A and B are shown apart, each in its own frame.
Chain A
Amino acid sequence: MSGGLPVVSPRDERTVRALGLAVSLTYAAAIFWVYTAQPQRVSDVSGAVASRLGTYQVDPEAFEAGTRHFFDDRFREARIAFKRADPAARDARTQFYVAYSFYREGWGRLYHDDRLYEQGLAALQRATELAGGVVHADDDRLLLRTSDELQAELERGILREASDVDPRRVFDRRK
């Protein structure tokens, strides 16, 4: 723009400039947030915005279906239902169950599935970030009721150590 220097005397010009500055900075901040948060779907963006506004809600029916599948050891079906219940992955409790489903599916008497355990840790990290600390699951049917306990189990499963070849591990119990 090579025009002459603008004279800032009219009030409406100052208003336009101030408004433009505010809108531009807000837009730039929103873009920065998008690049930092890396939402993968449009629903992630809308979910995050709704969560900030306090209007995001988990679908209780889908969540119930998810827990039903979870306790029936149908973990993939459970995760599909949890995804439906919490499409933007913004609910700490649902993400805790997702992480737990990876733990239970990956648990084996002779070996643990590291890939599933790592996915469990990723889901658990989401849960703790959303809760802003430890997640407490108010469910008597679970043996691991806090994110700390679940995280320890998942990390122990991934770790390579001498106890991995201890034959007594076949008597271990899935939690």
Chain B
Amino acid sequence: MSDTRRARLEAIALPLLLLSAALLGGIRTTPDGALVFTPPALMALVLGILLLGAAAQAGVIVPSRLVSAARPALANANGSVLLAAFVVGAAQVFGALTPSRGFFTLVANFFFLTALLLMFTARPDGPRFLRSLALLFGAALLGRHVLLAQLAPAGDNLAGRLFARALEGVTLGALGLERLGSATGYVALAAAATLWIALWLAQSADA
């Protein structure tokens, strides 16, 4: 890849994709259609940093090659923006895939932490890392936005509301079911896909 093409990818395409993932990952919609922008939680930022570590190990995004004393200042500035955008974008995607309260927040965070530590241990190459990440995001998306969303109280359905209330009562509120607008799941999917495409582009550039 030529230096100019690499510069386009590193300075324009990847930061814009990662920032878009950061923007989309924090969007929630309420049942009445209002938008809520959620900043990243501390745990999500930790997961984002861990994902950067795993991506570096797989050779997809290597921080030492984006910011170093051997590179010019402008290139280092591009690299720094890219790394910051990656951490925030990944954190927002983890946030979008993690229930915001209740027992399942703990379960989801444990799930992500275990998966990332497994990636560190297994040391996958770029393509395998991307496949694992797609599976991880897909499973979490289904868990939060399909399975848990089905348990959350339905807007105007009395039976659904009664069932959800009973479920919350039986579990002493530990489930922490939340009512979100139907668009939230689609936005989370778009955020996860955008992050994955950015990583795929970075990996393909070096393939």
Contact = CB atoms under 8 A, between A and B. Distances in A.
Contacts of B70: 5
Given A2-B206, A24-B16, A35-B26, A41 B35 contact: yes
Interface stretch (A10-18, A46-54, A86-94): A10-18
Interface string A77-101: 0000000000000000000000000
A25 B66 CA distance: 17
A26 to B, nearest CB: 10
Contact of A8 (B39, B59, B74): B74
Contacts of B22: 31
A129 to B, nearest CB: 18
Contact of A3 (B34, B36, B78, B206): B206
Contacts of A13: 3-4, 7
B101 interface: no
Given A8-B74, A17-B11, A17-B74, A3 B1 contact: yes
Given A13-B3, A27-B19, A31-B22, A20 B11 contact: yes
B81 A25 contact: yes
Contact of A17 (B19, B78, B206): B78
A20 B3 contact: no
Given A16-B4, A16-B7, A5 B35 contact: no
Interface residues of B, number: 41
Contacts of A31: 19, 22-23
A5 to B, nearest CB: 6
A110 interface: no
9 contacts: A1-B6, A5-B65, A5-B70, A10-B3, A17-B11, A17-B77, A23-B12, A31-B23, A34-B23
- Per CB-CB distance, the 9 closest pairs between chain A and chain B, nearest first, are A20-B11, A24-B15, A20-B12, A40-B34, A6-B3, A2-B59, A16-B7, A17-B11, A35-B37
Interface of B: 1, 3-4, 6-12, 15-16, 19, 22-23, 26, 33-37, 39, 59-62, 65-66, 68, 70-72, 74-75, 77-78, 81, 85, 202, 205-206
